[in-house]
Amino acid sequence: MRRRPLLLTATAALPGSALARPAAEPGRKVLRLAFQSPETTLDPVQTNSDNNTSTVLSQIFEAPLGYDYLARPARLLPVTAEALPQVSADGRVFTVRIRAGIFFAEHPAFGGRPRELVAADYVYAIKRFYDPRWNSSDLYLYESLKLPGLSELREQAVKSRRPFDYDREVDGARALDRYTLRITLGVPDPRFTYLMADPVQMGAVAREVVDFHGSDIGAHPVGTGAFRLKSWRRGSQIVLARNPGFRGAVYAGQPAAHPLAQAAAAHLAGKRLPLVDEVVVDVVEESQPRWLSFLEGRYHWLEVPLSFRAQAAPNRRLAPYLARRGITLQSQLRPDIVMHFFFMQHPLVGGYTPDKVGLRRAIGLAFDGPALRSTYFQGYGLAAQSTVPPHTSGYDAAYKSEMGDFDPLRAKALLDLYGYVDRDGDGWREQPDGSALRLVMASGGSQADRLSNEIWKRSMTAVGLRMDFEIATWPELLKKSRAGTLMMWGYSWTAGSPDGGFFLAIAYGPNASESNDPRFELPAFDRLYERQRLLADGPEREALMRRAKDLLVAYMPFKVHLHTERLDLAQPGVLAYWRHPFMRDLWRFIDVPPAAD
């Protein structure tokens, strides 16, 4: 699961010179893309669940499993594994055989020789999440599974202040022989195989490379995937090149009946992957230069910026001027949530007493969600009723809650009921004890961020609540959130698998300061979360998830606004492109025309 900025633009456009199209060698196929926000680091354990960074890393690193690119609903396939894992009867032990003859991209750490992927590389990759040196924000994904021996290794390193002991064997993650990986969980998890399909959370990492680069490993990703890092200008451009040592697998899935899937499968038949020689990714944070560059033909596809949707697809149909150029349109409801959270340890908006709960509920009811959807999101997207998004387990299209309501009158009534009233006649409400009440929302600084902030300020002013804004960059806000120094902040979570349980995990107490940014702690909720995760998908699990969703609506650590709809435009000549709801390692399947002579 990955965080995205709440708004699909961030701080500033690149200078015009940065958008000059670099020359490509004639005959070479170069896929050109644009990101709307900068990457963080190219080390899997240090990504802070950033979506763009994870997308790049997913082209470089490989997990044992992956998704069938063209199958819908989502279907798992072996990638570096010979077959899907063998799972013990109690759902705790997963054994997988790694295929022989897979090699890491060339690197000096390997002494000039090809280095074969082995099971121990996956053991090492998992252990890195536990190493205090890397302070991984994604450790909770493993800690919650209670892999035997790994938390103890971490605790030993913390207490002794000595390096993490990678050489000590533990039952949680073990190489039984050169190619056999066994992972043992402390608790059953029927959906653990989804984690085994995540190239960031379980991508193989070579220990020699990490030792070679040390603290600078975030600039030197080396994996077994279809691409390797060629060059990187931080926050500006990332260039990936075909990995010459890649095994050149062909697509062997079961495509859906959808016309796009059938056309893609026909094009991919018998072709060895990847189909392009290079991928160039520019970071263009403002929407206008990103949009204009696509129209000029610089980028092969583009997620249409929200402010240009009316130009691209009036009445949800491809604009004629684009259709005449051979540009095509794809749309998809995302498995995501756009939300804001309240830091539950903050003395103003945090806490579990009726007055604090009432304040958060009033803020949620006062926020003009319909305006956010109609103005910023141009009418696209689905009003959210809970934290669980479409396309995932636990989502119920019939579920209705206060989460989706906009009701300023009820908001005012709640504020009055709990003593948040204007005592001095200045037009602004005070706290029940008479002290000042000033809400502070963290935000990016782009034009689009300002639009969202205007809706927030207008909404709060309408019910007598004063709101100010703390402006910073996306990486800075991530750091402040982890440090617990923000009162309120918003972004999006996007699903990395069909398991909706993750969207309850962001409120699970033990995940505080990791995915649980509000640091919400409610024992009744935690018990429901723990019970549902042990169950296979079905009515019993759905019932527990519904009760957990009800508690999040009642206590309101999050105000979830909507599930977004994505519009993608693709240039003529782009072949086999069909956005998958979960997988990110899809660039190897895409074909583009070769550069002209």
What's the pLDDT at 447?
79
CB-CB contact of 585 with 59 (8 Å): yes
271 burial class (0-12, 13-18, 19+ CB within 10 angstroms)? middle
For CA atoms 524, 139, 155, 169, give the dihedral sign: positive
Q: How many Å apart are CA 306 and CA 312, to the nearest integer?
A: 10
Edge-to-edge order in the sheet of strand 180-184: 86-87, 93-97, 180-184, 173-175
What's the pLDDT at 595?
82
Q: How many Å apart are CA 179 and CA 43, to the nearest integer?
A: 24
Give me 52's structure tokens: 């763009």
Which domains, ranges and CATH numbers included, belong to the chain? 2-283+571-589 (3.40.190.10), 301-334+566-570 (no CATH), 336-563 (3.10.105.10)
Secondary structure tally for the chain: helices H, strands E: 18, 20
What's the pLDDT at 4?
60
What's the pLDDT at 5?
66
Could you tell me which residues are beta bridge partners of residue 50?
3
Per-residue model confidence as pLDDT tens for the chain (597 residues): 555 665 543 332 333 333 445 555 668 999 999 998 888 899 999 987 678 899 999 999 999 999 999 999 999 999 999 999 999 999 999 999 999 999 999 999 999 888 999 999 999 999 999 999 999 988 988 998 999 999 999 999 999 999 999 999 999 999 999 999 999 999 999 999 999 999 999 999 999 999 999 999 999 999 999 999 999 999 999 999 999 999 988 999 999 999 999 999 999 999 999 999 999 999 998 899 999 999 999 999 999 998 899 999 998 899 999 999 999 999 999 999 999 999 999 999 999 999 999 999 999 999 999 999 988 888 889 999 999 999 999 999 999 999 999 999 999 999 999 999 999 999 999 999 999 999 999 999 887 789 999 999 999 999 999 999 999 998 899 889 989 999 999 999 988 899 999 999 999 999 887 789 999 999 999 999 999 998 999 999 999 999 999 999 999 999 999 999 999 999 999 999 999 999 999 999 999 999 865
What's the pLDDT at 12?
29
For CA atoms 527, 533, 536, 537, give the dihedral sign: positive
Q: How many Å apart are CA 201 and CA 582, to the nearest integer?
A: 14
| H/E segment holding residue 357 | helix 354-366
To 10 degrees, the CA torsion angle through 283, 286, 292, 293? -10
Omega before 274 within 30 of 0, i.e. cis: yes
Q: How many Å apart are CA 275 and CA 225, to the nearest integer?
A: 13
- Listed in sequence order, the residues at least 6 apart from 467 whose beta carbon sits closer than 8 Å to its beta carbon are 438, 439, 440, 441, 456, 457, 460, 461
